[in-house]
Amino acid sequence: MLQNYQVLPLIKGGPCGLPEDIDDVNDNASKLLLKMWPNPYHINATIQFSTNGGHTMIQQLDALGQVVKIHTNRTYTAGIYNIDIYQDGLPSGAYFLRLQNGSLQKVISVIKAK
C-alpha cells in the first residue's frame, strides 16, 4: 500500500541528517556500480548494479526527466545484481538510468536504437 521513497537528508547530525561533508556523499555514490549492456540496445539488455543493502530502485527516465519505467523497487542485501530487461514498446532515443540506494544515487545515459 505504501511505496518506498528516496531518503532525503534534511537535518544535520540526526538519523536522517546531512553528511558532514558533501565529498562523503560523492565518494560513496561513486562506489555504486551501474552498467547496462549492450548500449545502444534494441529490445533486450542487461542492467548490472550494486547496492549497499536496503531499499534500491532503478528508474529509466526520458530526456525530459519523466520516469518511463521502473526496473526494480525493492529491498536488497548488499551485493551485485543483474536484471534482464525487455522493452518492445519504448520509442528509440536517449534515456537515463537512475540507481537510488538509500540517500545515494548514480545516473548513466543509455540509447535505445531501432
pLDDT of residue 11: 52
Burial class (CB in 10 A: 0-12, 13-18, 19+), 10: exposed
**pLDDT, position 69:** 95
Domains and CATH numbers, the chain: 22-112 (2.60.40.2550)
What are the tens digits of pLDDT across the range 77-105? 999 999 999 988 899 999 999 999 988 99
Q: What is the pTM of this model?
A: 0.78
For residue 11, what are the contacts with CB-CB under 8 A and spacing of at least 6?
A: 17, 18
Q: What is the pLDDT of residues 26-75, one digit of tens each?
A: 566 678 999 999 999 999 999 999 999 999 999 999 999 999 999 999 99
**pLDDT value at residue 77:** 97
